Structure 1
């Protein structure tokens, strides 16, 4: 039986539920029952949220009346408009009969029709499988269809709470290096007086941090995009924790952000970056430490922080190790050129 690929209306709750069920089943089959996934309501909120930043499209994969998988396409609208991001989720009982391949061909055609020349995706696998992920279902599927491993990432996990004595000791050790920098932390939206500097650092993350062979261009700082994302965070019942280091002249030098899910309770590390001109002062450690202190004070029920870093980002991985993170999974950032 051939695969039917059906666009999903984000306002159709039944179809969105079916999409999420296939997505969650595939992720948990490959990565474990306790793997963190976007929750059903977080997903629904994102799909229903108007965006000037990304065009989100999702599809149900059917054989007759049976849902056999789900797929998604994300088309950036402001930066890197030559790229499309895609995802395919097929639960194990429906694999090995062409469902994923049919979806991939469809998504690549949609991307090309939208003027995209590069498609990117991700696949995760157990840390013990090593950097290449040989033998893991997602990695092998991508390999068969011409997707190269453009960047290898490591997921690290931190169990909370951190020992307050460790925080105090590290802050004392950092005091001299941090010097005249001001460390400012808050819960919720970025304060108006620092949002332009925050946006500049946030726009630099993808290209200033190691990016391997990913075909990505520097993003333009955009306060409107920051505010749009904050609105979505609120709609998803998530809470943002931000810390910024500023120079004595008030320039943004380093930032970090944690976002706590209101559904699963985990904290997820988003961007962390130190401006090139301000490196060598241990600001990466300082902002992450200050943010963790605030997280423990304001959200004591949070018990886990999850973060991904490029395996080649030895400096940030060393910071994470210092704070007590441990490797828990790997992820490959995959890429294929359509031209």
Structure 2
């Protein structure tokens, strides 16, 4: 089945609306009607951003004047420039007609033309399907086309509000362990006086957190990239909550970030990392608890927190369990070497 693959203009509202509708329809069909997806306006803002960090491209898949799917490509511009991230969304009524295969061949050709050698993507499935996602449409599509499961993640959900007594108890339990450290937290933009130290940990997250078989190189700390991300959050009407633990030498020992979507009313856990030299001092749960306190005080309408962790990351999964998170879904990070 021959399809047209049209790169969209992110300022064309009708095209972006159609692109997002195919994405959201496909995701909810595979993961359930209550699956968390980026909102239309959040997606529009990202596509419209002029970025120095990533080259974003979005495509509509069309057959006989009908939209039959959407696709996207993201090319990192500063770090890991051997990698391209791709995604394809085909609603159920248009599947098994070769549309996804044709779109994938097109994207892989674009990846190769851009000088990249590795294609990466992700797909989610219901938790009950297990670590391999057997039977999940996205996983089976990728498997048949040479994409390996490079890292398996668990999505966990924390219903809010958290009982303040639980946070009180956790803070009492960890008080002596974290006594040598200063915990600072804030809402919104990362304060100038700590942003460089924050950036060091944020850059290290890609390789210090479990990465499985993913081909990921260390990132360079870059304040400009952090500020660009914050600008996008503002455009999306998202709100960031940050916490950092400072060691006696003033360096950042741990950090954690929550981002609230005002469109769907949920919070999403972004990075959390404890510096190798400071592990064993309960700092991971300390910065997470500080963020939850602040979130419940400043945004009490937030319904839930979602987080993703590598299934192999037993320590962070245990921290999440102690805070009340429960497994809700799985995600596979996929990879294929193109040459």
TM-score, length-scaled by structure 1: 0.99
Kindly report which structure 2 residues correspond to 1:107-118, keeping only aligned pairs within 5 A, or say none.
107-118=107-118
Asked if 1:267 is matched to 2:282, the reply is no
Partner of 1:296: 296
Which residue is 2:83 aligned to?
Answer: 83
How far the C-alpha of 1:52 sits from its partner, in A, is: 0.4
Q: Who is 1:235 aligned against? A: 235
- Structure 2: 5+ residue runs without aligned partners? none
* CA offsets 1:93-122 (integer angstroms, 9 cap, x no match): 000000000000000000000000000000
1:125 partnered with 2:125:
yes
How do residues 171-320 of structure 1 correspond to structure 2 at under 5 angstroms?
171-320=171-320
What does residue 325 of structure 1 align with?
325
Q: Secondary structure at the match of 1:41?
A: helix
Q: Take 1:249 and 1:265, find their aligned partners in 2: how far apart are those partners?
A: 38
**Quick one: distance in 1 between partners of 2:113 and 2:322?**
47
- Deviation for aligned residue 1:34: 1.1
Question: Runs in 1 of length 4+ with deviation above 6 angstroms?
Answer: none
SS in 2 for 1:263: coil
| Partner residue in 2 for 1:48 | 48
2:69 matched to 1:69?
A: yes
Q: Return the alpha-carbon distance in structure 1 between the equivalents of residues 132 and 227 of structure 2.
A: 37
Task: Using the TM superposition, give the Cα deviation of residue 143 of structure 1 relative to its aligned residue in structure 2, in angstroms.
Answer: 0.3
CA distance in 1, matches of 2:2, 2:82: 31
CA drift at 1:248:
1.6
- Residue correspondence of structure 1 range 88-103 to structure 2 within 5 A: 88-103=88-103
Long gaps (5+) in structure 1: none
Residue 124 of structure 1, CA deviation:
0.6
1:17 aligns with 2:49: no
Q: How far is the alpha carbon of 1:249 from its aligned partner?
A: 1.9
Partner of 1:60: 60
Q: What is the SS of the residue equivalent to 1:291? A: helix
Superposed CA deviations along residues 189-220 of structure 1, whole A, max 9, x for unmatched, are 10000000100000011100000000000000
Match of 1:248, SS state, is: coil
Over residues 10-65 of structure 1, what are the superposed CA-to-partner deviations in whole Å (9 max), with x where a residue is unaligned?
11111010000100000000011111111000000001111000000000000020
Per-residue CA shift, 1:110-147, capped at 9, x if unaligned? 00000000000001111111100011000000000000
Q: Distance in 1 between matches of 2:153 and 2:249?
A: 35
Q: 2 CA distance for matches of 1:277 and 1:185?
A: 21
- Residue 303 of structure 1: CA displacement? 1.4
SS in 2 for 1:115: coil
* 1:261 Cα deviation after fit: 0.3
Give the count of matched residue pairs. Answer: 339
Q: Secondary structure at the match of 1:193?
A: helix
TM-score by length of 2: 0.99
